Structures are given as structure tokens and as C-alpha cells.
């Protein structure tokens, strides 16, 4: 357990606010550093190199000690987030945590594949749509899937801002028809990295979600699940919840 993990923040227990585990109690380990710069990123404090001074290089033992402290040593789901947590060495933490009864979920855009993906309990691949300003690489997404193992819960989660994003989600889903697909309306008012009190346009989010529901039903895309960002509804842009 000598590899250092670059950590932006560790917080919880709270609930997972989106995707396949929405509503489930979890501790978040948010890493620092990312290979993407999405236009509507809601966690720039964990992405930009200008915030590197706020990140800590922690050992596996230090990270797990913090998780145990927050959870009162009661096993629960641990969500690995970022930034892009796929660029960090999480294999030892996952193995150590499993031995203590903890489970692990990873949220990543599917741009970097890691061998330790096979040890995860839940893998959420969230390829970024056109509105993010980032390019989609289907080969890299497939490489991520190649690192998974049987028995894992693997899903696709797509953020949708507009029609172009919706069509992107349809395209990605068609590439991997065996994977469950979750859609969520994009938070188009993400917080500045130094101000988590910035207001959220909840009316706009609700309108976008209603449009998304109507759009999928019009296409008879009945296998998809449409969910809000529950944490945004409850806490707005506040960090650490």
C-alpha cells in the first residue's frame, strides 16, 4: 500500500445523487486531476492544475483511515470520483476495503482504462456529450469495458443538455446495447470553483428533465432510465454533501 492517491476531498456519509446508485448512502473519495476540461464541469476544484495546492497525496492506509473514521467503521459504499479517478492507483484501496466489508463504485468518463476496474463493485461510465466540448473516443470506452469482470454492475450514464447530447446518448447506447443506460439533465449553472453558494436554476433543470422524458417517450426508448441530480435538488451547488 505504498502508492499515493491524489485526493481533492473525502466526505460523507451522504447519499449518491445520481445514476445507478441514486439515494444510496456513500462516502466520496474525490481525486484531483483530470484529462478533460468539460465546459459545464461542476467540480473544477478537483480538475484544474491551479487548484493542485489544495490536493493531498495520501497513502492507501491514510485514505482508508479517513473512510473508516467518517463511516464509524461501518461498511458502506465508497464512491471514487474526481476529476478523473481512473488515473489514480486505487487497486490497493479496493482490495483492502473489500477485506473490511466495504464496496466500491467508480464514476469516470471512460477515457482512461485501468486494470483495477475489475475489482470494482459498480462501474459507471459517463462519456461526455458534445455540449461538454470534449471529444468522444469509442475505442477508449471499449478499452474500459475490456477491464471489467463478470458479475460487476456496469452502466452508462449520459448527461444531456440539448438535442445533440440526446442523439449522442442514443449513439453510445447503440454501441453497447447490453448495458443499462441512465440519462440526467445537465446542470447548466455549475458553481465557480471557489463559490459553492452559487444559485442553481432548478426551474431550468426541471424543464430540461421534462423535455428529456417526453423526448425518450416519443422515440419509444423504453429501456432507458431518466433521473435528476438529487444532490443538486437537495443542496444546490454546496460541496461536501
CA distance 25 to 97: 16
216 inside domain: yes
Q: Which three cell numbers stand for residue 142?
A: 471499449
66 inside domain: yes
241 inside domain: no
Q: Which three cell numbers stand for residue 130?
A: 458534445
240 inside domain: no
CA distance 68 to 63: 9
Note the Cα 43 to chain centre separation in Å: 11
Q: Which three cell numbers stand for residue 28?
A: 466520496
57 inside domain: yes
Contact call for residues 15 and 231 (beta carbons, < 8 A)? yes
213 inside domain: yes
Domain holding 31, by residue range, is 4-235
Contact call for residues 126 and 108 (beta carbons, < 8 A)? yes
Question: What are φ and ψ of residue 118, in 5° steps?
Answer: -65, -20
186 inside domain: yes
CA distance 123 to 129: 19
The model carries a pTM of 0.94
Encode pLDDT of 189-240 as tens digits: 776 767 777 788 889 999 999 999 999 999 999 999 999 998 888 887 788 7
Q: Which three cell numbers stand for residue 216?
A: 425518450
Residue 68 has pLDDT above 70, yes or no: yes
Among the residue ranges 2-6, 69-73, 132-136, the one predicted with the least confidence is 2-6
Using alpha carbons, list the distances in angstroms from residue 236 to 17, 46, 137, 164, 231: 11, 18, 31, 26, 7
CB atoms within 10 A of CB 209: 18
CATH number reported for the structural domain that contains residue 15 in this entry: 3.20.20.70
Encode pLDDT of 133-172 as tens digits: 999 999 999 999 999 998 899 999 999 999 999 999 999 9
80 inside domain: yes
Q: Indicate the number of domains in the chain.
A: 1
Amino acid at each position: 500500500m505504498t502508492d499515493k492517491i491524489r485526493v481533492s476531498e473525502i466526505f460523507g456519509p451522504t447519499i449518491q445523487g445520481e445514476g445507478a446508485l441514486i439515494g444510496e448512502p456513500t462516502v466520496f473519495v474525490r481525486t484531483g486531476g483530470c484529462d478533460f476540461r468539460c465546459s459545464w464541469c461542476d467540480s473544477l476544484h478537483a480538475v484544474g492544475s491551479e487548484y493542485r495546492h489544495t490536493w493531498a497525496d495520501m497513502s492507501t492506509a491514510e485514505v482508508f483511515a479517513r473512510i473508516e473514521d467518517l463511516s464509524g467503521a461501518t461498511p458502506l459504499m465508497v464512491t471514487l470520483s474526481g476529476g478523473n479517478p481512473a488515473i489514480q492507483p486505487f487497486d490497493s484501496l479496493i482490495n483492502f476495503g473489500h477485506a473490511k466489508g466495504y464496496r466500491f463504485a467508480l464514476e469516470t468518463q471512460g477515457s482512461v482504462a485501468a486494470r483495477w476496474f475489475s475489482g470494482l463493485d459498480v462501474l459507471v461510465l459517463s462519456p461526455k456529450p458534445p455540449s461538454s466540448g470534449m471529444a468522444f473516443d469509442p475505442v477508449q470506452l471499449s478499452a474500459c469495458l475490456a477491464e471489467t469482470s463478470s458479475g460487476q454492475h456496469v452502466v452508462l450514464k449520459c448527461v444531456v443538455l440539448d438535442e445533440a447530447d440526446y442523439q449522442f446518448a442514443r449513439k453510445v447506447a447503440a454501441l453497447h446495447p447490453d448495458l443499462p443506460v441512465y440519462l440526467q439533465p445537465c446542470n447548466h449553472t455549475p458553481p465557480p470553483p471557489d463559490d459553492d453558494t452559487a444559485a442553481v436554476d432548478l426551474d431550468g433543470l426541471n424543464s430540461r428533465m421534462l423535455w428529456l422524458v417526453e423526448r425518450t417517450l416519443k422515440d419509444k426508448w423504453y429501456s432507458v432510465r431518466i433521473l435528476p441530480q438529487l444532490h443538486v435538488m437537495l443542496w444546490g451547488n454546496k460541496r461536501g454533501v
